[in-house]
Amino acid sequence: FSSWLPAAMAAPTPVSALVHSSTLVTAGVYLLIRFNNLLFDMFFLKFLLLLSSLTMFMAGISANYEFDLKKIIALSTLSQLGLMMSILSMGFPDMAFFHLLTHAMFKALLFMCAGVIIHMMNDNQDIRLMGGISLYIPLTSLCLNISNLALC
């Protein structure tokens, strides 16, 4: 559980995309993948599975009660990190690494699309006011939907 992640979304969208897709957030997961054989015993793996499952669940529930577009994307990042950690704790480090790479690419695209949408909405991030946005920017909406489906 991490409360700093959604709060860090006050940064401009390109910075958010960099931080959430490829550098800061995934560094811990990458290190655990690299040192998978050295650090893990059975108790630690069970504890990691429990903690990662709670992280996925809590981030998913929290995202359902948010109205800020960038905070929803940040909470989905937290949920995806929980998924990567649960995959790793079940003994599939290659699959966790593959998910880390695909997450980095598609989350960066998701943040860039969110930045375009926020700009088109006159810097408004409230999703309750974004109805019918695909009529005005169909290509961005298509890219947003593709990147969102890739993360499911």
Per-residue pLDDT of the chain (152 residues; tens, 9 = 90+): 556 666 665 556 566 556 655 567 788 888 888 888 877 788 888 999 999 999 999 999 999 999 998 889 888 888 999 999 999 999 999 999 999 999 988 888 888 898 899 999 998 889 999 888 999 999 999 999 999 898 77
Is residue 6 one of the residues assigned to a domain?
A: no
Give the pLDDT score at 84. 94
Give the pLDDT score at 143. 93
Give the pLDDT score at 11. 59
Instruction: Locate 96 and state its tokens.
Output: 């966790």
Calpha distance 71→64 (Å, rounded) = 11
Give the pLDDT score at 150. 86
Q: Rounded to 5 degrees, what are φ and ψ at 126?
A: -80, 120
Is residue 81 one of the residues assigned to a domain?
A: yes
Is residue 3 one of the residues assigned to a domain?
A: no
Query: Cα 39–42–46 angle (5° rounding)?
Result: 105
Give the pLDDT score at 5. 61
Is residue 5 one of the residues assigned to a domain?
A: no
Is residue 20 one of the residues assigned to a domain?
A: yes
Give the pLDDT score at 13. 58
CA-to-CA separations, 27 to 73, 92, 100, in angstroms, rounded = 18, 18, 10
**Residue 100 amino acid letter:** L
Calpha distance 86→45 (Å, rounded) = 9
3 state SS of 76: helix
Is residue 92 one of the residues assigned to a domain?
A: yes
Is residue 123 one of the residues assigned to a domain?
A: yes
Q: Domain residues for 74?
A: 12-150
Q: Rounded to 5 degrees, what are φ and ψ at 125?
A: -105, 5
Calpha distance 26→7 (Å, rounded) = 17
Counted domains in the chain: 1
> Residue with structure tokens 């006159």?
122
Is residue 4 one of the residues assigned to a domain?
A: no
Instruction: Locate 50 and state its tokens.
Output: 């429990």
> Residue with structure tokens 């995202």?
63
CA-to-CA separations, 140 to 4, 17, 41, 115, 134, in angstroms, rounded = 28, 16, 45, 10, 8
Give the pLDDT score at 24. 72
